[in-house]
Amino acid sequence: MSIQRIESVTYGVADVAAGIRFFDDIGLEKVEEGSQRASFRTPVNQFIHVRDIGDASLPKSPESGSTMREIVWGVDSQASLDALGAELSRDREVSATPDGTLHTRDETGFAIAFAVSKPIEAKVEPHAQNSFGATGRLNRRFQKIPKPHPLRLAHAVFLIRPEGGDKACDFYLNRVGLKLTDAAGHLGKFMRVPGIADHHSLLLMWIRKIPVKFDHIAFEMRGFDDVMSTGPYMEERGWKPTWGPGRQPLGCHMFWHFDNPCGGEVEFFTDMDRFDDTWEPVTWQGSPGSPWTLDDQIPKMENQARVPAKP
Ligand SMILES: [Fe+2]
C-alpha cells in the first residue's frame, strides 16, 4: 500500500461566511457554494470543504468549536485502498461511503479517511530570477505578485498528549505507511509519505497544557516572493498573522502562519527539505534552531547533537 498525499480536508465552522471568505482570499478555486457550505480546489485537485458546524453528516471531532472534522489521505490504487481497509479493520471500525472512501479514526480519535488519489498536473511557471553567474530576467522588472496562489495542500499538524504519543505515531508509521523523518523528543514526530517527499506530510506534536487540538494545514507556494507577498495581502483583508515569517528549524521551509476562521491556522510555505526512502530518521535532543526568522517566537537554540533514532 502506498499513501500519496492529503486528498481533502473538511471543516465544521461556526461562521461559514468568514470561512468561505478566508479560502477565497488565499486564492483557491471555489468549485461549489451553497447557503452554508463551499468547496475549494487546489491546482493539483485537492479539496477544502467548508461546512456548517451543525451539519449532522460531519464526523465528530475530539475538539469543540470550529475545527477540522476529517482529513482524507490519498493512496495510489484501489488495491492499496482495499489492503489498507483490511489492515485497519483488524482493530477499529472502518466504514465506506458510496464513493468508495474509507472512514475511520486514528489513535487520538481524529476522523481520518482514505481514497484513491486523483492528482492532476499543474503547470507552474517559476519566477525568473537573477543570481551570480546566471541571468534569468533580462531587460524586464520583477513583477509584483497580485494575489496568493497556493500550489498544493502539503501537510497537516495535530497537537496530541505526549502520553501515548509514540503509539499515536506508530499507527501512522506501521499501519498507514508514513515514514519517520525526524523524532524531536521535546516536540513530536515528523512523518512523510514514501518516495521523494517533503520533510513532513503529518506532524503529531506533543501538547501538555490543553486537550488534543487540530493545529494547521499548510499550502506550498511557488517561492519566497509568494510567501512574502501573501502575508501583507492577507493582513490587508483583516486576517491575523500568528507566526513568521521565518525558516523552520526542522523541515527548514520558509513559512508564514495565519489564523483560520474554520479552525486552527493555515501556513503558507516554500522550499521545504525533501527526503527519499534511503533517509535514516534522526532523533533530536533539542531544537536545531531556526536558520533565520523575523519572529522571535521561533526558538533560537544552538545546534544539538544528533542521535540516530531507534528502529
Ligand atoms: Fe507546518
Domain membership flag for residue 185:
yes
Neighbours of 132 (CB within 10 A): 4
Across residues 87-104, what is the average pLDDT?
98
Answer whether residue 17 shows pLDDT above 80.
yes
Which pLDDT belongs to residue 304?
Answer: 39
Q: Cβ distance 218 to 46 under 8 Å?
A: no
Torsional sign, CA 288, 292, 295, 296: positive
Which pLDDT belongs to residue 1?
Answer: 56
Residue 17 corresponds to which cell in the numbers above?
461566511
Which contiguous run of DSSP H or E holds residue 176? none
Neighbours of 157 (CB within 10 A): 20
Answer whether residue 128 shows pLDDT above 80.
yes
* Omega prior to 232 cis, within 30 of 0: no
Question: CATH number for the domain including 87?
Answer: 3.10.180.10
Q: How far apart are CA 280 and CA 309, in angstroms?
A: 8
Domain membership flag for residue 125:
no
> Residue 265's beta-bridge partner residues?
216, 259
273 CA to centre of ligand 1 in angstroms:
12
181 CA to centre of ligand 1 in angstroms:
14
The pLDDT tens digits of the residues spanning 105-123 come to: 999 999 999 999 999 999 9
Which pLDDT belongs to residue 305?
Answer: 37
Helix extents (H) in the chain: 16-25, 78-88, 165-170, 224-236
If we measure between CA atoms, which residue out of 215, 231, 309 comes closest to residue 25? 231
Which pLDDT belongs to residue 172?
Answer: 98
Q: Which amino acid is at 273?
A: D
212 CA to centre of ligand 1 in angstroms:
17
The pLDDT tens digits of the residues spanning 198-246 come to: 999 999 999 888 789 999 999 999 999 999 999 999 999 999 999 999 9
Which pLDDT belongs to residue 298?
Answer: 55
Domain membership flag for residue 130:
no
What distances in angstroms separate CA 212 from CA 32, 92, 199, 306, one per listed residue? 31, 20, 23, 29
Which pLDDT belongs to residue 140?
Answer: 96
- Domain hosting residue 43, numbered range: 3-119+149-308
Domain membership flag for residue 136:
no
Domain membership flag for residue 133:
no
Domain membership flag for residue 16:
yes
Rounded to two decimals, the pTM is 0.95
68 CA to centre of ligand 1 in angstroms:
15
Q: How far apart are CA 99 and CA 77, in angstroms?
A: 14
Which pLDDT belongs to residue 208?
Answer: 84
The pLDDT tens digits of the residues spanning 130-174 come to: 999 999 999 999 999 999 999 999 999 999 999 999 999 999 999
266 CA to centre of ligand 1 in angstroms:
8
What are the phi and psi torsion angles at 254 (to 5°)?
-85, 130
Number of domains making up the chain: 1
The pLDDT tens digits of the residues spanning 236-295 come to: 999 999 999 999 999 999 999 999 999 999 999 999 999 999 999 999 988 788 888 888
208 CA to centre of ligand 1 in angstroms:
19
Query: pLDDT confidence of 308, banded at 50, 70, 90?
Result: very low
Which pLDDT belongs to residue 289?
Answer: 83
* For ion ligand 1, residues whose CB falls within 5 Å: 218, 267
Which pLDDT belongs to residue 23?
Answer: 98
**pLDDT: is 224 or 125 the higher one?**
224
215 CA to centre of ligand 1 in angstroms:
9
Tell me what the pLDDT averaged over the chain comes to.
93
Share of the chain above pLDDT 90, in %: 87
Query: pLDDT confidence of 297, banded at 50, 70, 90?
Result: low
Domain membership flag for residue 275:
yes
Domain membership flag for residue 132:
no
Q: Cβ distance 6 to 249 under 8 Å?
A: no
218 CA to centre of ligand 1 in angstroms:
5
